[in-house]
Structure 1
Amino acid sequence: MSTEKNQDEFYDKLRSQLYDTSSWPAEYLYKFIVQTEAGKIQTIESIFDNMGAVIKTNPSKNGKYTSVSINVQIPTPEIVIEKYKEVAEKVDGVIPL
C-alpha cells in the first residue's frame, strides 16, 4: 500500500472524527515534534501566523527535539487538515501527534 494512500485514509478518518466530535468553528490543539532547529520551529510558527494562535515550545531533556503545541480557533475540519498538510510539506522530519 502506498504512503500517499495511507495519508489519504488517515486524513479522511480524521475529517470524519472532527465532524463527529466538535461543533465548528472550534478551538483545536496541534502538536508536533521536530528536531531543535530554529528554522524548523519558525516555519511551523509562520504557518499559524495571523490566526491568533497560542504557540508553546518545549525542548526535550537532551535538547535534540522540541515539541510545538499550537492552540488556535479553526473554522472547519478542512482547515485543520490543510494546516497538517502544510506543516508536513514545509518542515522536513516533523512528527504530528
Structure 2
Amino acid sequence: MKDLSNINVQDINTGDKTDFYASFREKLVEVEQFPTLYTFKFIVPASLENNAEIEKIFVHPSTKIAVKDSKTGKYNSLTVETYVATADEVIAYYKQVAKIDKVIML
C-alpha cells in the first residue's frame, strides 16, 4: 500500500468538476492498489447531525470512524477508514459527502 498522505482533494484544482474527478481518479489509480482500506478525512461544524450524516454514508462492515473536537469545540474532525474496491468507489464516497453543507474534505 502506498502513502496517500500527499494527495488531498483540494490539491487537484480544476475549474470543471468532471475534470477534477477524472484527475483525482488518475492520481488514485497511480498511487493505490485496489481493493484496499482507504482513509477519508473531513471537517464539519460540530453537531451530532453532521456527524450522523457522514456516518450513514459509510456502511461497510469494515468502517471505523474517529471523531475529534477542535480546540474551540466549533468543529469536528472525522477520520473514516473503510474498504473500497475501486478508485471510482472512493470518488463516489467523496461526491456523497460533498452534499453535506459546510463540509471540508481533506
Query: Where do residues 14-93 of structure 1 align in structure 2 (5 Å cutoff)?
Result: 14-89=24-99, 91-93=100-102
Residue 17 of structure 1: how far off its partner (Å):
0.8
Partner of 1:95: 104
Structure 2 unaligned regions, length at least 5: 1-13
Q: Is the 8 A contact 2:46 2:73 kept in 1?
A: yes
4+ runs deviating over 4 angstroms? none
Q: Which AA in structure 2 matches 1:60?
A: S
Superposed displacement of residue 92, structure 1: 0.5
AA at the equivalent of 2:49 = G
**Any stretches of 5+ residues in structure 1 without a counterpart?**
none
Q: Relative to total residues, which structure has the larger helix share, 1 or 2?
A: 1
Q: Which residue of 2 aligns with 1:7?
A: 17
Q: CA deviation at 1:76?
A: 0.3
- What is the distance in 1 between the residues matched to 2:62 and 2:84? 10
Does structure 1 retain, via aligned residues, the 8 Å contact 2:60–2:83?
Answer: no
Q: Percent identity?
A: 34
Return the offset for 1:38: 0.7
Q: How many residues align?
A: 93
TM-score (norm 1): 0.89
Question: What TM-score does the superposition give when structure 2 sets the normalisation length?
Answer: 0.81
